[in-house]
Structure 1
Amino acid sequence: MVKLYDTGAYLLNGKELIAEDGDAASIIKNKIGKEITKEDAKKGTITYSILKKHNTSDSENDLKMKFDSLTSHDITYVGIIQTARASGMTKFPVPYVLTNCHNSLCAVGGTINEDDHKFALSAAKKFGGIYVPPNIAVIHSYNREMMTKCGNMILGSDSHTRYGSLGTMGVGEGGGEIAKQLLSQTYDIKRPEVIGIYLTGKPQKGVGPQDVALQIIGNVYKNGYVKNKVMEFIGDGVENLDIEYRNGIDVMTTETTCWSSIWCTDEKVKEYYDIHGRVEDYSQLNPDEIAYYDGIVYVDLSTIEPTIALPFHPSNIYTIEEFKKNPIEIMEKVEKEAKEIFGSSEINFDLKSKVKDGEIYVDQGVVAGCSGGTYDNIIAVGDILDGKSVGNGLFQLSIYAGSQPTYLDLVNKGTIGKVMEAGAIVRSAICGPCFGAGDTPANQEFSIRHTTRNFPNREGSKPGEGQISYVALMDARSIAATAINGGKLTSATELDVTYTEPKYTFNPAIYEKRVYNGVGNAQPEEALIFGPNIKDWPQIPSLTDDLLLKVVSYITDPVTTTDELIPSGETSSFRSNPHRLAEFTLSRKDPQYVGNSKEVHKLEIDREEGINVTEKYEELKKVYDNIRKIDGYENIDPSNIGIGSTIFAYMPGDGSAREQAASCQRVIGAWANIAKEYATKRYRSNLINWGMVPFEIKEEIPFGKNDYIFVPKVKEAILNGEAQVKAYVIGEDAKEFTLNIGSLTEDEKKILVSGCLINFNRVN
């Protein structure tokens, strides 16, 4: 049972919840013998104490944060380091972990993946960082094992940067924010609200962390209950969960759209640090005697049942039991939603064919990455598979341990032998299947995965080429149960299994022998190694006083993910080449976008070169003739007006933190986004750091695809901190409407006016 409070609530002594109502103050006074204000009680959360420690501003509400360490993987670190270098960085001011867990297979693009890895090693040497070679550990496994510390904060350029269960607040952001920290600048944010995740009870046998996580996601995602807030895990149920179980829930908090997470800590957390040889990094974290939360998600762990998140989002949840009772109707609903998402009549959606004789059959199982590839999960999978077989039919099962130390202990404990003897394929520590770079299913196949996401195309299919497959998220235990039943969907609670739960033994030798640690030992004389695909960022123009925007893509989906803005998988191999990567922008959602945006970019390039664009382009002559009909703009000079493309989407930016979702638009001429709202803070930050104005529109949309929008005095509005700006849809008559700019920090204003973060740092 997951219940959301309609109000905020007070927590007394870490156990008792008192909902905020008319009697709350008197109840609290009777219990603790004193009065306390809500504002003072807000300071009693774990979150408040950690944010206070890391805030460098004089304000308790306008925070300027500095982090204890940073982390990136091989889709993002080249662009980040290139940005920081271009902005004047000479060394890493804090520990910066560069992992190689995404493009580790080196299967696409010739030498370019391994070229990037060599660049990262040379950067770690030159600037004083940590380099984790390919296949040694996925990004979050390494940071859990080696970089967390109770009360610390880690900023990562991967959206699943979550270490709250180990007492460390992790924040996933775009590369621009990492670059700012490398330049000793601050991460600026309004103090976030804090939502208490009150756990009580104990999970039943066979229910795993993914089951709990999916139930929480399904109850809070669509209503935005925790959006851009901190999820603070409290309650008597926490002590009933082992650490890897907590890690498995915690990493999935990203899928709720929360900003960060933190848990109270206890002896189990201390033991985790002790096992990893750094017990000194443990400290007890608990709320104060009284703490106020802006909302409560009440989770009775004993009532959670094995759960499945059907395509195409982690919030699309059903219990496995209810799915099995009514598969056809539920699958028809998924197929209908798929037609709306993909918008193509050429794709045949046939999920219903997976139902045979009343049973649901799947084609593939995967347990992998930061959420699935934990020691406890794979031990449980081994216990279920022990002496059994996954069969020699179509069904296949792949297991990826999250790190080599985990893999080594699983070998020593005999678990790897169990799963291999059962017919499962054991792979090295990479994130491949989580984002479409490994174990991509065949066309029309149905895959069940203990990974983080099941967004459209996330598994690597290409609907534009007629390919479609379906990914559902499930816990490793139920995936293993399904495996021993030949792919027939089975809940782990249906099995009678003895779970062995052997204690984990961490061997640091692998990291000591293979990981390069240059923290505090920058070597300026070290040369960076550039492969032929590593290119510098192109010159970006500064913001002009007025803007002329052309709407080149108009997306009406309720949510647009970053995977749709810039697809993951093979396209990410070109991440270090801005122009080449930009060719894939919106390629699966709007294949005409790149060409249309480039056409607009030609207009701006000509303007910058001093060409009279109204003489060269008849379309622009008509646009400016109509702008001159607006009172006050009769004498405008087109040579001074920036021309750029824009997209409209209802809610863009859910999912990955990859800055390329914004930078790819910018490289081919975008100057803004227009949205009803932004799905995440990190995507909006990415837009700002790449000089793209994050417009919002609250009224009925007055424009369509291919319309021109004139935004006068936008530079002035931004510098003056104006929340809104007038804009005009340019047809035969100009139609006035309002664009919202939203709240911007002083630095964000300057970044937008400069044109991008690199330009800002060059002049500041």
Structure 2
Amino acid sequence: MGQTLTEKILDDHLVEGKLETGEEIGIEIDQVLTQDTTGTMVWLQFEAMDLDEVQTELAAQYCDHQTYQFDFKNTDDHRFLRSAAGTFGAHFSRPGNGICHNVHKENFAAPGKTLLGSDSHTPTPGGLGELAIGAGGIDIAVAMGGGSYYIDMPEVVNVRLEGELPEWATAKDVILELLRRLSVKGGVGKVLEYTGPGIESLSVPERTTITNMGTELGATTSIFPTDEKTEEYLDALGRGDEYVELSPDEDAEYDDEIVVDLSDLEPLIAKPSMPDNVVPVREVAGQSVDQVIIGSCTNGAYEDILPAAKMLEGRTIDRKTDMIVAPGSKQASEMLAREGHVAELMAAGVNFSEATCGACIGIGHVPASDSVSLRTFNRNFEGRSGIEDDSVYLCSPEVATAAALKGEIVDPRDLADELGDLEDPGFELGDRYDTGGEDPDLISPDEAVDDELVKGPNIGDVPLKDTMEADLEGPALLKMGDNITTDHIIPATQDILMYRSNVPKLSEFTLSRVDDSFAERALDADGGFLVAGENYGQGSSREHAALCPMYLGVEGVLAQSFARIHKANLFNFGLIPLTIDEETYEKIEQGDDVEIVDDVAEAVRSGQEEFTVRVNDDWEATAYLDASEREREILADGGKLAHTKKQAQSGGSGATPADD
């Protein structure tokens, strides 16, 4: 039996386990990336494990989220990250140089490599044949130290693309169509592997738009085979020698198949406030629009902004609508500027932003109260834009630009008919992507500025959890619904994000979007549990969403189901993730006394799957722990950092980073 492309790359990097769906495997990691909101903790954990040098082929530290440097805390973080990169041997991308996924794609992503990143949109380079996975920060630290990355072998789903995109339909509409069909939970535990004749019509940047937003499906990762389009793109980047031809075997067997006929697609839009709330643009046409933003790691490349420039040439945006372009990288800005497009955009009334994640996480360009914002981003979770009760729609650059011209949501096909001289701008690659000479904003390990760590007063230590005890009990501190995101657990707005290196302070904001009294109540309770519905922890890879509840004394989470990365982060910080059924969820109430009846530490280590949960000494239910032997040891030891140090001291293997 032949192999899928996913299986081929995993097989080449397999260290432990078998490629059987649901079985835990350990794989070797070639490249790692981290960014400024997760990176400080990554390097503090790397230091805490007494590691002194990066062991992966390549490590890259990007500063892309909090680049506006509102006060010294942000700037101190960036200085520390530069010093960590220089001390331990990583590339360093300066603040303002661009978003990690875009800059990594431009400089380092390569076919057939494995990439692990402490950002949930790490799968972006899957568009050029790299197997890229998002994970929690401590998993990155261990991988950088030479340790394997462990994951349950996902299902591999064949997404077969047929036909070609019609006028005004884009790659963004491909992934929005999949979100419409599958929902934000539809990709959990799966790799989406794209095949079929439709691939041939899509360039690498179009493919990376699709793989980027595979994260919104909950997918482990997404990947395309390589072909002439891949080689053409790498050549344009000046990295043609890194091209490798990769494809599945003709007789490869997949766990499932989804067929998308590109020729059937039309402009789509995700309504507030979830990426899977997708409808045709014509269904919401006429809605007045106050703000339009083109950018982010999804649609912030040169090829994404160019269509907007073409559509706006000789025109101006509607006077009641603000339009911002937020490039994904400084390279994209420079290319557009050299070709004169930045001037044309500005002449049309467009405001240019620094190349940053910024507005996507509510830092800058926050919408006005009771307003509508159209964005080419990947997420529109409620409140993520920086204001509660926001109204954010997700769409392609073409749909966003049409709205800016009209002042309301409009299908660009209808606007073209109305204006008479508006043509589909199409999709155009740049001739070359190296802008001439050495990049001063990307510092290699050989050019490192620092050789020792520089820690400002806002950078604290890594909190550790004690070894798991036999008895776990406490109140149900908070009961939540379905699809609670990491933005709910730890918001990423600028007033909160600046404390990412200061866990005691950051913890004060834990679950504040659900209940602003939670942190204080949790500290007073000195223990207890969170209760949630389906898909708890969806969204970003931020491990602070597990670290801060741990710091506040939370012992575990009882949920109907968990998002992949967040569940791993719960293990990594010693919080037990127990799955409950709908009946138990409905019955348990906030404030109830909860006790896990079993000798929990012994049960976890021994492989026990069913746990008895007693509530108010009145009724009992069964909860389930789905965990590998390795995850159980990590959990019982109080988390991955404590477990790794214990393994190193005992001379064991486990998650211990390898020697040279």
For Structure 1 versus Structure 2, the TM-score category normalised by the shorter chain is: over 0.9
SS state of the match for residue 670, structure 1?
A: coil
Question: Could you say which residue in structure 2 is the equivalent of 1:695?
Answer: 578
Question: Could you say which residue in structure 1 is the equivalent of 2:509?
Answer: 584
Distance 2:204 2:147 in 1: 34
Superposed displacement of residue 68, structure 1 = 0.8
Which of the numbers 524, 527, 532 marks the counterpart of 2:457?
532
Question: Could you say which residue in structure 2 is the equivalent of 1:670?
Answer: 554
CA contact (8 A) 2:25 2:152 kept: yes
CA contact (8 A) 1:88 1:761 kept: no
User: What aligned pairs does 1:34-113 form with structure 2 within 5 A after superposition?
Assistant: 40=1, 43-61=2-20, 62-94=24-56, 95-107=58-70, 110-113=71-74
Distance 1:503 1:536 in 2: 45
Seen in structure 2, the aligned counterparts of structure 1 residues 482 and 511 have a Cα distance that, compared at 3 Å, is farther
User: What aligned pairs does 1:655-734 form with structure 2 within 5 A after superposition?
Assistant: 655-678=539-562, 680-698=563-581, 700-701=583-584, 702-711=587-596, 712-731=598-617, 734=618
Which of the numbers 292, 298, 317 marks the counterpart of 1:390?
317
Question: Could you say which residue in structure 1 is the equivalent of 2:85?
Answer: 124
Question: Could you say which residue in structure 2 is the equivalent of 1:380?
Answer: 307
Superposed displacement of residue 449, structure 1 = 0.3
Question: Could you say which residue in structure 1 is the equivalent of 2:484?
Answer: 560
Question: Could you say which residue in structure 2 is the equivalent of 1:211?
Answer: 173
Residue identity matched to 1:562: T
Residue identity matched to 1:449: R
SS state of the match for residue 249, structure 1?
A: helix
CA contact (8 A) 2:7 2:19 kept: no
Distance 1:471 1:546 in 2: 45
SS state of the match for residue 704, structure 1?
A: coil
Residue identity matched to 1:708: D
User: What aligned pairs does 1:542-691 form with structure 2 within 5 A after superposition?
Assistant: 542-555=467-480, 557-570=481-494, 571-601=496-526, 644-651=527-534, 652-678=536-562, 680-691=563-574
SS state of the match for residue 560, structure 1?
A: coil
CA contact (8 A) 1:89 1:182 kept: no
Question: Could you say which residue in structure 2 is the equivalent of 1:247?
Answer: 208
SS state of the match for residue 513, structure 1?
A: coil
Question: Could you say which residue in structure 2 is the equivalent of 1:369?
Answer: 296
Seen in structure 2, the aligned counterparts of structure 1 residues 522 and 477 have a Cα distance that, compared at 3 Å, is closer
Distance 2:215 2:510 in 1: 23
User: What aligned pairs does 1:417-436 form with structure 2 within 5 A after superposition?
Assistant: 417-436=343-362
Superposed displacement of residue 716, structure 1 = 0.8
Seen in structure 2, the aligned counterparts of structure 1 residues 58 and 670 have a Cα distance that, compared at 3 Å, is closer
Seen in structure 2, the aligned counterparts of structure 1 residues 574 and 230 have a Cα distance that, compared at 3 Å, is same
Distance 1:210 1:199 in 2: 14
Seen in structure 2, the aligned counterparts of structure 1 residues 723 and 381 have a Cα distance that, compared at 3 Å, is same
Superposed displacement of residue 498, structure 1 = 5.5
Deviations 1:614-641 (CA, angstroms, capped at 9, x unpaired): xxxxxxxxxxxxxxxxxxxxxxxxxxxx
Which of the numbers 194, 197, 202 marks the counterpart of 2:159?
197
Distance 1:502 1:147 in 2: 19
CA contact (8 A) 2:296 2:357 kept: yes
Distance 1:498 1:538 in 2: 54
Query: TM-score, normalising length from structure 1?
Result: 0.80
Question: Could you say which residue in structure 1 is the equivalent of 2:651?
Answer: none
SS state of the match for residue 64, structure 1?
A: strand
Unaligned runs of 5+ in 2: 417-421, 648-660
SS state of the match for residue 643, structure 2?
A: helix
Question: Could you say which residue in structure 1 is the equivalent of 2:217?
Answer: 256
Distance 2:258 2:359 in 1: 31
Residue identity matched to 2:112: G
Distance 2:438 2:510 in 1: 37
Deviations 1:257-300 (CA, angstroms, capped at 9, x unpaired): 11011101111110111111111211111111211111111111
Superposed displacement of residue 119, structure 1 = 0.4
1:179 aligns with 2:65: no
Distance 2:549 2:102 in 1: 32
Which of the numbers 344, 363, 384 marks the counterpart of 1:437?
363
Q: CA RMSD in A?
A: 1.7
Deviations 1:664-695 (CA, angstroms, capped at 9, x unpaired): 100111111110111x2110000000000011
1:267 aligns with 2:231: no
Question: Could you say which residue in structure 1 is the equivalent of 2:395?
Answer: 474
What percent identity do the matched residue pairs reach? 30
1:291 aligns with 2:252: yes
Superposed displacement of residue 54, structure 1 = 1.3
Question: Could you say which residue in structure 2 is the equivalent of 1:758?
Answer: 641
Residue identity matched to 1:488: E
Query: TM-score, normalising length from structure 2?
Result: 0.93
SS state of the match for residue 479, structure 2?
A: strand
Question: Could you say which residue in structure 2 is the equivalent of 1:303?
Answer: 264
Deviations 1:332-364 (CA, angstroms, capped at 9, x unpaired): xxxxxxxxxxxxxxxxxxxxxxxxxxx321100
Seen in structure 2, the aligned counterparts of structure 1 residues 699 and 212 have a Cα distance that, compared at 3 Å, is closer
Superposed displacement of residue 215, structure 1 = 0.9
Deviations 1:508-559 (CA, angstroms, capped at 9, x unpaired): 557632211117x999x9221111110002342211112113211011x221
Distance 1:310 1:205 in 2: 22
Distance 1:251 1:236 in 2: 21
Residue identity matched to 1:387: G
Superposed displacement of residue 136, structure 1 = 0.7
